[in-house]
Structure 1
């Protein structure tokens, strides 16, 4: 048993341990819900675990900071690693639900090694072409290759009936939904609505990097999206008007906007207006050195 295991939460570190546990769940007729995370758990992650507990007999969370999602200049070394406190946060749920954690080492997940320099990477990787190049892929071309690769590995290790992801990472949800279909994974992917603070800011592990002053200004992007949704509800469907509503509110608090897009929910290509298929209104902005993302769904639901 791992030193991190507690009375209520068992922590596994190897693929063999997880597969033995999964075999036991199958023998007992238990369905398994899976929540992949990079740790530093907050209420958003716990909402995913709670949704998994409602839908499945057993819940497994992975806690793994995936190097393949980071470029050499990004904050891999600084990314918070808080396994012990993460286990404590899961305890209330684990008191009523069978809940375990898979916290593998980098060597366990990447037996041939892994570097953040994509040109030096060796081994097997998964790419979802087309969707991965949109939106976040413009500034982080390595990111969704890393996501698709590690989630594919985790799916094959855990073999869950259902997997749960947060809407805040909407492009990730679209990429993985396509991957599940393309690769014929026998897994139902569930998208859980974004969990927000009282001021509307989406919960994120990166919020801890915000200063008190930045934290007060950051919700302006969400307020702008709310105004855009109000416009849509009043009959406005044009991209320019909806994006302008977000940009104006963000500018009022001096947010450093990287992009705001109105996108087709299937292709993520930019659209001129919201059609009967709906659209995703999303964006990214910086507060000092911290980069944040958010989105809202217009005219459709996952």
Structure 2
């Protein structure tokens, strides 16, 4: 019998991406080679009028866009109002590290807050660092101040502090979405980068109504059937609310089936994911088949959930299903 060759792991066979063949961006000597445009000079003056200090004006090296490295009065900086809630564990860790090192070396990103807001500056990606510095009693915080106000909505793309889970992503997106409905001409496709995934919008509404909603069980389906809607955000929001209610109604039915399985003696962290997988109409759908719309998919899932007989489910079926444990929050 021929000797079997050891299988290579996927990680071992994965190659690092090669650097781009042609260089791009600016040379180090070019970052301050030109005078800043008027709006950046105005931002410089505004920062100093607010009691801050502009430390440097320069163009960032990749896209060549102007930014201001500044020290801002810490009491005048707040997180954008649609960010996820703070992680106390992460904040305490940052407090300990900053306190132990005696240095703050990771500037936050900031933009000017809209007129009428209590804070003068918003940070879309420095909530935890800002909170830690405030707790430690810092008087100021260093920030890269971006002139473009749109950066405030690019939370998911800019956030490098702590990986978002699905619930945090969805809640940030729906909070941002509602804020943007006041802008003329705003559509979901206009802010596709900021929203990242159309399913986050629908799931965000579900999480707002039901904080312990198990969005992870439904996300694989929604990624296949929930696209960005056309039309102004105000009108699209009503469609999103209808979709969220449809999904929550399906979840009520799924929960009934899960409880019936538990009553039968099946106890597993995968029960809800198992039920959703059994009623998923796109799981084994041929690639050449016409894609299902959101309404079609949810209608099929609701009918399939109604027909699912817990008495016919065996423990072997559950063991073979695998998958991620159901979310608890």
The answer to whether TM tops 0.5 is no
Bigger-Rg structure (1/2): 2
Higher strand share: 1
Higher relative contact order (CA 8 A, sep 6+): 1
Q: Given the two structures, how large is their TM-score scaled by the length of structure 2?
A: 0.23
Q: TM-score, normalised by structure 1?
A: 0.25
Question: Which structure shows the higher helix fraction?
Answer: 2
